[in-house]
Structure 1
Amino acid sequence: MTIGELLKEERLAKSKTQKEWAGNIISTSYYAKVEKNKHRITAEDLLVLLHLNHIDSSNFFQRLENKQDLIHEQEKNWGYLATNAVYHHDIAALKQIIQSIKDSELPQDKKAADVLEVEGMIETLRVNLEKNYQPNIKLQQKLKERIFNIPNFTKLKLQLYCDFMDFYDLEANKQIIKQIIKEKANTADNQIMLAVSAIINNFISSSMSQNHYDGLDYYITLVDQMPQLPELYLIKSSIAVHKYLIDYHFHKDEKYLDYCWKIAAGYRLTGMKDFGEDVATFIEQEKKKVADN
């Protein structure tokens, strides 16, 4: 919740018009835009406004903080549910999350941004799962613009790019990753390392799916050189599958397939059945390519 939204809530609770509420502190037209989050109000004017309408300022700011904390927890929960839905290829669950966001008390601009991200997740699933699906180019462009408009490779920008890098072609991804590596290669931030390694993992997988194998050992080495951290285990094991499949592609040695099947079995044994099935499907696809050649 924003300051403008909480002011509106307080005003309506006291059954006052905007003109009565704003008094002579700021113009009614300006105040109306504050409530709509189109204008900001200065700290000085806000305090005078609260005093004029007999609102305790400490209570007002505490309510604002509490509501913002609640919204933050809601967003974290939506993020968890969305990740789980993508993992299980559950488009219906993602649509329910979109409705929950629309029904929430988030500011309109934040609602639009969060809905766009979940719609992007649905788009990614449909592109990857539905054979005759016609990509929503307009939606994909909106997501690219959202990513592009974030300055520098922050955690948010890296996460968004990782989620939606399927919307870029292979050469564009290669150039973007080059910039990411240049900027973040020496980071000590575990979350940044996780995001970068996930991006590299997705790029390797996409490259292999498009029959581009040369030069991928460079990216594999980058992830191999990252510290052995618990949060990096899943990505590192996935990178290992790619490494062994690339070895199999070039050397045709069955031992590399055996290594891959053991990793896939490990996923299933540790409760990651869907992920294990996806890895098994990828192994079969790469195995078929070698057989066909």
Structure 2
Amino acid sequence: MTIGELLKDYRISQKKTQKQWAKDVISPSFYAKVEKNLSRISAEDLIELLHSNQIPVIDFFSKLNQKDKSINQQELEINRLINEAYYQNSKKELQQIRDVVAEGELPNKNDELLLIDAYIAVISKDLTMLDKEVIDRMKEKVFNISNFDEDGLIMYCNFMSFYDLNSNLLLSKRIIKQLVGSSSVRIQEKILAIIINMLIFCIRNKRFEETEEFVNYADQIKTKPEVFFYKLLIPAFYNIVKYQDNHEQKYLDETEIIIKSIKLAGMPDYGKELEELLVANK
């Protein structure tokens, strides 16, 4: 049983129409697609939908776990919700999901709890929330992946801050060499995200000589709508590097234009981070 199917069961049991059930959380048309498994609901919207219909989150997932015959499917759904909550930067939702997992009976429950605790620490920008043993286990978990798929890429990309620069240089180059030629747009997005993180790490550590290889990898990925934002960022970071060589004002000017474009596109946090990096390396 999928999340959409279980939502439908709850809705019918409360004798509500899809419009009454969706309320103002999501549109009735989108909700209809969720019930039919044609669209995926975000963790934020799912939890809000459950709350608005007086359904305890723990009860919902407990029932999902009981009815779903596939343990693997349960874990996939939980991991999707974890990732959604992380990208929404919501510690509250992650804690709610943690409560669900802690009450459940997934065979890999301890690994899931470890993952959620790590995400909460990253969002809080406070790795001291985690024991050294926990950080080491997460680092080992990623480092021991021999063939990275999309889930492995997401995990590494999100936890790159756990590693020192030299470890990241070793691991990121191994991953990129393995997957840079992938035709999957989703894989390309994750590779470009890793490249951008590495450019940031190298610039912050004044290891400018390490950046060219990553820029060359990025150039191997063709620009298309799905990866346009990532491709837009690459020249901004590389201009900061090139400015270190000859201090030509044009590199700063080009980066400032990109920063303005990012802010105008409604992503001020990205623009601010890039601006701070630019100011620190003028």
Relative to the length of structure 2, the TM-score reads 0.67
Change (3 A) 1:68 1:203: closer
More displaced stretch, 188-197 vs 94-103: 94-103
Aligned-pair CA distance for 1:137: 2.2
Work out the CA distance in 1 between the residues paired with 2:129 and 2:113. Answer: 20
Work out the CA distance in 1 between the residues paired with 2:246 and 2:188. Answer: 31
Change (3 A) 1:208 1:135: farther
Change (3 A) 1:65 1:271: farther
For the Cα contact (< 8 Å) 2:86–2:123, is it kept in 1?
no
Residue number in structure 2 paired with 1:7: none
Match of 2:255 among 257, 260, 279: 260
Work out the CA distance in 1 between the residues paired with 2:76 and 2:123. Answer: 26
Residue number in structure 2 paired with 1:114: 112
One-letter code of the match for 2:201? Answer: S
Aligned-pair CA distance for 1:114: 3.2
Work out the CA distance in 2 between the residues paired with 1:254 and 1:269. Answer: 23
Match of 1:84 among 79, 85, 88: 88
Counting matched residue pairs gives: 218
For the Cα contact (< 8 Å) 2:202–2:210, is it kept in 1?
no
Structure 2: give runs of 5+ residues left out of the alignment.
2-65
Work out the CA distance in 2 between the residues paired with 1:200 and 1:178. Answer: 9
Per-residue CA deviations over 1:158-211 (Å, capped at 9, x if unaligned) read 211111112122222222123223322322122222212211211111011011
Work out the CA distance in 2 between the residues paired with 1:168 and 1:68. Answer: 29
Trace 1:237-256 onto structure 2 (pairs within 5 A). 237-256=232-251
One-letter code of the match for 2:237? Answer: H
Change (3 A) 1:218 1:76: same
For the Cα contact (< 8 Å) 1:155–1:191, is it kept in 2?
yes
Work out the CA distance in 2 between the residues paired with 1:117 and 1:232. Answer: 27
Q: Alignment partner of 1:182: what SS? A: helix
Q: Alignment partner of 1:271: what SS? A: coil
Residue number in structure 1 paired with 2:95: 98
For the Cα contact (< 8 Å) 2:239–2:251, is it kept in 1?
yes
Change (3 A) 1:210 1:142: same
Trace 1:1-293 onto structure 2 (pairs within 5 A). 63-64=67-68, 72-73=76-77, 75-85=79-89, 93-104=90-101, 106-127=104-125, 136-287=131-282
For the Cα contact (< 8 Å) 1:244–1:257, is it kept in 2?
yes
Change (3 A) 1:148 1:172: closer
For the Cα contact (< 8 Å) 1:98–1:115, is it kept in 2?
no
Aligned-pair CA distance for 1:252: 0.7
One-letter code of the match for 1:166? Answer: S
Relative to the length of structure 1, the TM-score reads 0.65
Percent of counterpart pairs with the same letter?
Answer: 24
Aligned-pair CA distance for 1:145: 2.4
Work out the CA distance in 2 between the residues paired with 1:95 and 1:83. Answer: 13
Work out the CA distance in 2 between the residues paired with 1:246 and 1:266. Answer: 20
Work out the CA distance in 2 between the residues paired with 1:271 and 1:114. Answer: 33
Residue number in structure 1 paired with 2:62: none
Aligned-pair CA distance for 1:110: 4.1
Structure 1: give runs of 5+ residues left out of the alignment.
2-61, 86-92, 288-293
Work out the CA distance in 2 between the residues paired with 1:72 and 1:106. Answer: 15
Q: Looking at CA atoms only, which structure, 1 or 2, has the larger radius of gyration? A: 1
Change (3 A) 1:189 1:118: same
Work out the CA distance in 2 between the residues paired with 1:115 and 1:109. Answer: 12
Work out the CA distance in 1 between the residues paired with 2:76 and 2:174. Answer: 31
Per-residue CA deviations over 1:268-292 (Å, capped at 9, x if unaligned) read 11111222212211211122xxxxx
Q: Alignment partner of 1:256: what SS? A: helix
More displaced stretch, 145-154 vs 201-210: 145-154
